[in-house]
Amino acid sequence: MLPESAALRREINLNLNLKQNHTMKYPFLKSCLAAALSLSGMLTTALAVDAKQPNIIFVMTDDQGYPVVGAHGHPWIRTPHLDKMHEESIRFDRFMMGSTCAPSRAGIMAGVHSIRNGVTHTIYERERLNPEAITLPEVLKTAGYTSGYFGKWHLGDEEIYQPDQRGFDEYFIHGAGGIGQAYKGSCADVPKNKYFDPVFRHNGTFVQTKGYCTDILFKATLGWIQSVKDSDQPFFAYLSPNAPHSPFIAPPEYQKYFKGLGFDGKTAGFYGMIEHIDYSMGIMFERLETWGLLENTIVIFTSDNGMTSIGCGLKSKAGRPHKQIGTDPEGNPMMTYNAGMKGLKGTVHEGGVRVPFFVRWDGKIKEGRTVDTVVNYLDILPTLAELAGAELPSTQAFEGRSLASFLFEENPEWEDRFQFQHVTRWNHGVNPDDFKWKSYSVRNQRFRLVAGVLYDMENDPSQNEDVTDQYPELVTEMKKAYEKFWDDSRPLMINDGVPLAEEKPYHVNYNEQKATTGIPQWEEPELSN
């Protein structure tokens, strides 16, 4: 059954929902998710807790996208550890996320499309994950897992939305969508927070750290893994560094390297952050090997959306035309690179939503295989649930499919499907229906329909030719499927129309703690050999 804390949370949340007019304005009865939350459909364990259940480490970078990995053909980025992971993994090469941060995170966390969880923006209270949603760590908990979350959360900054209220036993996070960010409403990090020596929230207490944010987050993750690795419970570690998100601040030695090649400050920071992430991944794998964890640990690497435009050096969200942003030591031009795709973060073209997705599981799966089937972020929850031995409710609430068969079979049966994406991000206070037919996309294995324009992704992966006139019946079918998806989802956009909060919880709570008990120095874990 669902963990007691989650059930209690939902009872408390009912009052909040009524107060904010969520349930009265948008009846939840039509939701498939409601069926998942009924007592008769609560989660049960598929298997008894077994010492051989795999540990799971899920690493998701912020705004990196698909192109900036050496193994993906990037001409000059240095990512030796990610390239090695690419070689030793099964690579899902057509993996699709949402087009921006919070929507992708909501879909991963609940296995339900983001707009059906109320997440239609990254701010304006529309980043809050529906309090009634069953989450990934809650599912894993039914199979005996302990779970920790580290880094960028971005699913609500009020207490009821924090990770410990969503099934995580440990958390170490910053607020809002980035370190130091603050927007109208509740979405805000600690005041004046910085990438160096940042303040993080550790299990409800703000702590002062020393060092660079990505280093700290990897160390916090490894420290927690060290503390639980010898217990009887399998663990799930979700590591979500805010790098390489803006404002593109890399450690000095990485920033200096790219500036020396003629990069401007932002591009030097963006690419420097990615090379530093690669370094950090190498440290993590080294530690996992030292601890003897690799053979019973699934390690996944991905990114939350397509590559960001400003940091990569491309001004246009079209992801082209390309231009020179530096000169290598041999005098050759260093050009921008988008893996031949159209679109960047904030679009529903291929480049806006396609990401790396590497799955490494030493000794259990055949390494070095590439899966070209188009899959997406809604598939993550059912996949990890199956691998962990956790049973999902026998309802339609979870929209994705388990990808586990791809890990163990060369060519598993897989029925094609339509996958829906929308940029959302309309302004606060407007009618979402005015944006129904704007910035949407429908994808299947071969085609992508973007706002009424059809592309043949197999024969034209760069999306240069409109083939709408060649496949009118398919276009009609895709539009009808999308319209049904939107109409079914519209009542579930529970955060649209909610008034902006008057207080910023991270500001209020931080200032209160600072004035009373103070901000303690984080006790950095000592990692054993």
Domains and CATH numbers, the chain: 54-408 (3.40.720.10), 419-492 (3.30.1120)
Q: Examine the pLDDT at 50 and tell me if it is beyond 50.
A: no
Mean confidence (pLDDT) of the chain: 92
pLDDT confidence of 525, banded at 50, 70, 90? very high
Tens of pLDDT, residues 163-204: 999 999 999 999 999 999 999 999 999 999 999 999 999 999
β-strands 297-303, 357-360: how paired? Answer: antiparallel
Q: Examine the pLDDT at 22 and tell me if it is beyond 60.
A: no
Contact 376, 414 (CB under 8 A): no
Tens of pLDDT, residues 58-117: 999 999 999 999 999 999 999 999 999 999 999 999 999 999 999 999 999 999 999 999
Tens of pLDDT, residues 348-377: 999 999 999 999 999 999 999 999 999 999
Tens of pLDDT, residues 496-522: 999 999 999 999 999 999 999 999 999
Q: Is 206 helix (H, G, I), strand (E, B) or coil?
A: strand
Whether omega for the bond prior to residue 505 falls within 30 degrees of 0, making it cis, is no
Q: Examine the pLDDT at 26 and tell me if it is beyond 50.
A: no
Pick the closest to residue 47 from 167, 142, 168 (CA basis).
Answer: 142
Query: What are the tokens at 233?
Result: 């419970």
Tens of pLDDT, residues 310-322: 899 998 999 999 9
The Cα–Cα gap between 463 and 471 comes to 15
Span 425-449, average pLDDT: 98
Among 35-49, 293-307, 457-471, name the one with the lowest average pLDDT. Answer: 35-49
pLDDT confidence of 52, banded at 50, 70, 90? confident
Tens of pLDDT, residues 122-137: 999 999 999 999 999 9
223-225-228-234 Cα dihedral, nearest 10 degrees: 170
Tens of pLDDT, residues 218-259: 999 999 999 999 999 999 999 999 999 999 999 999 999 999
Query: Tokens 């990254």, residue?
Result: 122
pLDDT at 3: 52
Strand residues in 241-344 grouped as ranges (E): 297-303, 324-327, 333-335
Span 23-27, average pLDDT: 31
C-alpha dist (Å) from residue 251 to 92, 222, 254: 31, 20, 6
pLDDT confidence of 395, banded at 50, 70, 90? low
Q: Examine the pLDDT at 36 and tell me if it is beyond 80.
A: no
pLDDT at 315: 85
The Cα–Cα gap between 409 and 227 comes to 35
**What 3 state SS string does 443-501 have?**
ECCCEEEECCEEEECCCCCCCCCCCHHHCHHHHHHHHHHHHHHHHHHHHHCCCCCCCCC
